[in-house]
């Protein structure tokens, strides 16, 4: 993973400069950051990123290009989230790969894909700050392909706002000031002028939705949706509108696609980088309960919620037969520690962040990295460790 640059970074690492990095990110976001930021950016060869992109595009097209898959995926959308005026195709797609060392070199293994927005604002700030504080401007870029900062802002801004004035676009969330993703909301407002509002603060007049903006009742013409259906259900939140109503509002990141492109999609993929995955109701006799090489995952939980390692017969028996189609059993693929750090080698998960440009054409706009040494990449599995957490992905051109 770009050994010369990695060795140079490790040799020059100091906790003081890392603290400067943390302080600068916080200052630029303007709000507290309640999740760990890794002590190092990750240096990705452009050729590796290209292979990840190629695999991600093949997976996306195999799903969105299949009428049979879309019919089956549509049947998974709960009635309350069926939208008469949603998106024909999802505006945002994320594809997550864990990095593994193979005889062919470093490759990706699919972790998850989802049609839901990611940290399009915060990740930009994170990467820009890493390049500046660690003086890496000449060594690496942060944008894939021919993209630059101006084109990035235009592309993502268009996906968020459409053709509307940002004052009539809202980032809709549940308790946005209490979410860990609050730094991204703050940067989204700085970069694109779109404010985060609580979904319960919306008012309705006929087919139109409104919000209070500096004391003025303001029409909502487009919603940049960050409300996760799983959280909405867990908190039993009563909405001031119904998703199934014919509202005169555009959606970017509509909640029905949260179900259509998700862990539900993985058993339908045949790419060699996809670990064996099967619906629980179809898995009897195909794996050994209690074997740590398998994971049990609920389809529509978020951020790794509800995952069981080596599910036992008791774990499986606790799931009602009628609900087993809502779980998958997946082969566990341990990531290879491929990032050399002063505290030892660390695993990395790479997210490829796409936005739709036209039809089913998607543009890869930014990579995102999570680093870890635990069984999973989440904070709870990496407590007390250094060189773990959110990281900037910096792209280095391969030497000829």
pLDDT tens-digit readout, 74-125: 999 999 999 998 899 999 999 999 999 999 999 999 999 999 999 999 999 9
pLDDT at 124: 98
What is the model's pTM?
Answer: 0.94
Alpha-carbon distance of 320 to 327, in angstroms, equals 11
Tens digit of each residue's pLDDT (9 = 90 or more) over 243-298: 999 999 999 999 999 999 999 999 999 999 999 999 999 998 899 999 889 999 99
**Residues 296 and 323 grouped into a single domain:** yes
Which parts of the chain sit beneath pLDDT 70? Answer: 302-304, 374-383, 399-400
Contact present, 113 and 93 (Cβ < 8 Å): yes
Rg (CA), the chain: 21
Contact present, 41 and 134 (Cβ < 8 Å): yes
**Residues 210 and 344 grouped into a single domain:** yes
**Residues 186 and 314 grouped into a single domain:** no
DSSP three-state, residue 106: strand
Q: What is the average pLDDT score of the chain?
A: 93
pLDDT at 301: 76
Contact present, 367 and 15 (Cβ < 8 Å): no
How many structural domains does the chain have? 2
DSSP state letters, 269-298: ---TTSPPEEEGGG-TTSS-TT-TTEEEEE
pLDDT at 230: 87
**Residues 294 and 166 grouped into a single domain:** no
**Residues 13 and 110 grouped into a single domain:** yes
**Residues 74 and 211 grouped into a single domain:** yes
Alpha-carbon distance of 388 to 368, in angstroms, equals 13
pLDDT at 100: 96
Length of the chain: 400
Q: Which residues pair with 223 in a beta bridge?
A: 170, 251
**Residues 147 and 188 grouped into a single domain:** yes
Which residues are within 8 A (CB) of 114 and not within 5 positions of it... i.e. 6 or more apart? 93, 94, 258, 261, 262
**Residues 118 and 185 grouped into a single domain:** yes
Alpha-carbon distance of 132 to 109, in angstroms, equals 31
pLDDT at 56: 98
Which residues are within 8 A (CB) of 164 and not within 5 positions of it... i.e. 6 or more apart? 221, 222, 250
pLDDT at 359: 82
**Residues 307 and 385 grouped into a single domain:** no
pLDDT at 360: 86
**Residues 119 and 214 grouped into a single domain:** yes
Q: What is the CATH number of the domain that holds 300?
A: 3.30.1490
State phi, psi for 287 to the nearest 5 degrees: -155, 160
Contact present, 231 and 302 (Cβ < 8 Å): yes
Please give the C-alpha separations between residue 241 and each of 74, 206, 227, in angstroms, as whole numbers.
22, 10, 14
Domain boundary among 332, 361, 380: 332
**Residues 123 and 156 grouped into a single domain:** yes
Q: Which domain holds residue 289?
A: 276-332
**Residues 343 and 322 grouped into a single domain:** no
Query: What are the helix (H) ranges across 162-244?
Result: 182-192, 229-234
pLDDT at 382: 64
Which residues are within 8 A (CB) of 327 and not within 5 positions of it... i.e. 6 or more apart? 279, 280, 296, 297, 298, 299, 319
């Amino acid at each position: 993973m770009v050994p010369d640059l990695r060795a140079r970074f490790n040799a020059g690492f100091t906790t003081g400069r890392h603290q400067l990095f943390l302080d600068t990110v916080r200052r630029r976001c303007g709000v507290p950051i309640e999740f760990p930021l890794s002590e190092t950016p990750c240096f990705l060869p452009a050729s590796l990123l290209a292979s990840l992109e190629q695999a991600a595009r093949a997976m996306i097209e195999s799903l969105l290009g299949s009428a049979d898959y879309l019919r089956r995926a549509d049947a998974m959308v709960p009635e309350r989230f069926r939208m008469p005026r949603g998106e024909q195709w999802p505006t945002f797609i994320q594809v997550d790969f864990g990095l593994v060392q193979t005889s062919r070199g470093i490759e990706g293994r699919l972790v998850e894909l989802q049609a839901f927005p990611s940290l399009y604002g915060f990740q930009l700030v994170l990467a820009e700050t890493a390049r500046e504080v660690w003086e890496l401007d000449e060594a690496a870029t942060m944008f894939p392909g021919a993209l630059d900062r101006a084109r990035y802002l235009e592309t993502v801004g268009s996906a968020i706002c459409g053709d509307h004035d940002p004052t009539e676009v809202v980032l809709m969330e549940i308790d946005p000031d209490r979410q860990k993703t609050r730094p991204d909301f703050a940067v989204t407002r700085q970069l694109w002028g779109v404010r985060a509002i609580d979904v319960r603060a919306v008012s309705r007049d006929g087919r139109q939705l409104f919000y209070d903006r500096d004391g003025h009742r303001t029409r909502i013409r487009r919603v940049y949706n960050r409300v996760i259906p799983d959280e909405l259900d867990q908190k039993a939140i009563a909405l001031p509108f119904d998703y199934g109503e014919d509202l005169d509002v555009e959606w970017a990141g509509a909640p029905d696609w949260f179900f259509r492109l998700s862990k539900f999609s993985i058993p339908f993929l045949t790419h060699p980088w996809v670990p064996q995955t099967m619906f629980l109701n179809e898995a009897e006799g195909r794996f050994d309960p209690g074997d740590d090489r398998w994971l049990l995952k609920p389809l529509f939980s978020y951020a790794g919620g509800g995952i069981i390692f080596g599910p036992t017969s008791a774990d499986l028996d606790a799931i009602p037969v009628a609900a087993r189609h809502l779980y998958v059993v997946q082969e566990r693929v341990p990531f290879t520690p491929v990032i050399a750090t002063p505290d030892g080698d660390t695993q990395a998960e790479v997210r490829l962040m796409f936005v739709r440009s036209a039809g089913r054409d998607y543009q890869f706009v930014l990579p995102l990295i999570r680093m870890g040494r635990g069984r999973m990449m989440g904070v709870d599995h990496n407590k007390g460790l250094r060189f773990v957490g959110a990281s900037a992905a910096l792209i280095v051109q391969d030497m000829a």
